[in-house]
Amino acid sequence: MKRSFSEYSAKEDFFWLILRPWIFIPRVLYILLTFIFLFLRILFQGNSKNKNVQKNLSKYLFDVITDLGPCFIKLGQALSTRPDLVRQDWLTELTNLQDNLPAFDHKIALKIIEEELGSPANKLFEEFPDSPIASASLGQVYKAKLNNSYLAVKVQRPNLYFLIRRDVVILRFLGTFLSPLLPLNIGVGIGEIIDEFGKALFDEIDYQKEAENALRFANLFKENPNIFIPKLEKQFSSKRVITTSWIDGVKLRDRILLEENNLIPASFIKTCVISGLQQLFEFGYFHADPHPGNMFALKGGNADCGNLAYVDFGMMDTITNSDRLTLIKAIVHIINEEYYLLAEDFQKLGFLTKEQDLQKLVEPLKEVLGGSFGAEVGNFNLKNVTDKFSKLMYSYPFRVPSRFALIIRAVVSQEGLALRLDPEFKILKIAYPYIAKKLLTDNSEEILDILLEVVFDKKGQIQIEKVESLLNILFRDSENINPDLIPVANAGLKLFVSKKGSEVRKNLLLSLIKDEKLEFTDAKKLLALIRDTFSPLNIAKSAVQNIISTV
């Protein structure tokens, strides 16, 4: 009985392959010989202090993975998101792995379409081209025409299920056997990592799951006028073929190309980053492969927020509500330079074991992150911090939980995309105000608890400096009055007088009592800060800014 695309079983797949030695042995020998040459080179050069030697070695690693085919290219991409597994100085080369291969035979693609959809392509569509317009590691895309509209028809590569099933088994077998010889910082069994990879890859080659992902993603952004998701054509989609409306846009690969099409690069950067933050911190469901080939700039929009289209929903992931809230807390603790509490966040998320002495990590975390989110927020560069953090993770007992691998990949990919369009781009100029606004406007009990941690210390006293820092980030780290001033003021007022605001009111009253006496100094400072921030003049300017942005 034929296995489902969505199924993955390490044990069953291993026995399936081991009982077919004519398949298993030649492939293992080829991969093993390739790895032997790689490991010999690593053995002699892996510990070299010479940067050129390490650069050449990382390039050789890149060539080996590319030569071994799609499954290994995917693994290389996964490894490029795992700073806990691979030396930091190899990561740069691995992140250059591109998900594309030469196109497969057009006649085979036509045969797959007929098998999957029940009719030849020339009968299903008014026009069907003789060659694909794009090719990737798992499939290739054709631009077909139907009812005077163009469609994107993605056809899966032949025998992909067999090839991936075979190579995942061999990867697990060789990885488990060879892992002790590799200079990798592995906190869990290599088999678990390969299993994680195999499950994700099996999901990605099931185009019916991709179709479901596309529909879910489109529903999340249905109220957002700046985000476009191609319409799924169900009647022309199956497990190995997926058809959507054609996106007539410009890939976010080149700033000059955007400008030649009268598109403003900065506007698409903002839409891209904000939509990514919404996926992570609001929806809990995100596009895990936001590279330039999967995102298109569209006409329309404005200078502040451009119209952006997402495509390719094979690699999606979710984040639990608990992890989402802990991440927000971690950002707040970084902002406030509370490194012990940050270490506790890492522990809760699974990056550190419960037995780890967190006090020992305070200074290393301060060294890596200190000042990054303070006065120099506009100069923050995620890649620089990521590089430093990679070294920290290699030296200290940090481990990236499997559920965070795709999150890291998505965040780093988004900043890389933005830097491609604008080398001076600073991700926190957009991301940090977003977090600040969420703390100030989200009335959920969980976010309110985090806000209370910022406003009041453990003794219930007002933390004026932290409140001022939060407001400064949102309203004073830009040249113009922020249009969010009015929404934040409204949300704050509603919260204060609402039932949920009882905790805020209680803490404010308790903060007035010090040594059994009334003390109004902190309260006066807080009122002065609120008065200065939300002055009538600033509110008026914010209203004007809102009107201008909608014109």
Tell me if 517 is assigned to some domain. Answer: yes
List 142's β-bridge partners, or say none. Answer: 153
Nearest CA to 212 out of 113, 125, 290, 285 is that of 285
Domain boundary residue, one of 399, 426, 453: 426
In this structure, the answer to whether residues 197 and 76 fall within a common structural domain is: yes
Do 173 and 89 lie in one domain? The reply is yes
- How far, in Å, CA of 398 to CA of 188, rounded? 11
Whether 81 is in a domain gets the answer yes
DSSP output for 432-477:
HHHHHHHHHH---HHHHHHHHHHHB-TTS-B-HHHHHHHHHHHHTS
Q: Which tens digit of pLDDT belongs to each residue from 130-152?
A: 999 887 778 889 999 998 899 99
Query: H or E element: which one contains 250?
Result: strand 250-251
Shared domain check, 452 and 421: no
- At residue 529, the pLDDT reads 60
pLDDT score at 1: 44
pLDDT > 50? residue 125: yes
| Whether 332 and 468 share a structural domain | no
What is residue 216's predicted lDDT score, i.e. its pLDDT? 95
Nearest-CA neighbor of 97 among 126, 128, 71, 125?
71
Spell out a b/e string for 132-162, using b for 16 or more CB atoms within 10 Å of the CB, else e.
beebbbbbbbbebebeeeebbbbbbbeebbe
- Residues 417, 276 share a domain: yes
Given 426, 453, 488, which residue is the final one in a domain? Answer: 426
Co-location of 303 and 380 in the same domain: yes
User: What is the number of structural domains in the chain?
Assistant: 3
Tell me the pLDDT tens digit for each residue of 372-405.
Answer: 544 444 455 555 666 666 667 666 777 777 677 7
pLDDT in tens, 201-236: 888 889 999 999 999 999 999 988 899 999 999 999
Would you state the pLDDT for residue 380?
53
Residue 106 lies in a domain: no
Helices 10-18 + 21-45 axis angle, to 10: 110
CA dist 338 to 349, 359, 417, 456, Å? 17, 12, 30, 14
Q: Which two tokens stand for residue 135?
A: 């090719």
Residue 301, phi-psi category: left (phi > 0), alpha (psi -120 to 50), beta (remainder)? left
User: Is pLDDT of 237 > 70?
Assistant: yes
Q: Are 140 and 154 in contact (CB under 8 A)?
A: yes
The distance of Cα 455 from the centroid of its chain, to the nearest Å, equals 30
The pLDDT of 437-452, averaged and rounded, is: 74
Instruction: Return the pLDDT at 182.
Output: 56
Q: Are residues 387 and 486 in the same domain?
A: no
Domain housing 317: 254-426
From the candidates 289, 317, 345, 484, give the one annotated as an active-site residue: 289
HSE-up (13 A, CA, CB side) for residue 438? 22
Lowest mean pLDDT among 196-205, 306-315, 528-537: 528-537
541 within a domain of the structure (yes/no): yes
Domain boundary among 396, 426, 456: 426
Pair 453, 422 in one domain = no
Let me know if 289 is a catalytic residue.
yes
Could you tell me the pTM of the whole model? 0.76
The reply to whether 269 falls in a domain is yes
373 and 451, same domain (yes or no):
no
Residues 364, 305 share a domain: yes
Quick one: 342 and 417 in the same domain? Answer: yes
Q: What pLDDT was estimated at residue 175?
A: 77
Mean pLDDT of 270-287: 88
Strand, coil or helix: what is 139?
A: strand
Residues forming beta bridges with residue 144, ordered by sequence position = 151
The answer to whether residue 23 is domain-embedded is: yes
Residue 493 within a domain = yes
- The answer to whether residues 19 and 60 belong to one domain is yes
User: What backbone phi and psi angles, to 5 degrees, belong to 387?
Assistant: -60, -45
Q: Which of 1-15, 58-72, 358-372 is predicted with the least confidence, judged by mean pLDDT? A: 1-15
Is there a domain that residue 117 lies in? no
How far apart CA 36 and CA 32 sit, in angstroms, is 6
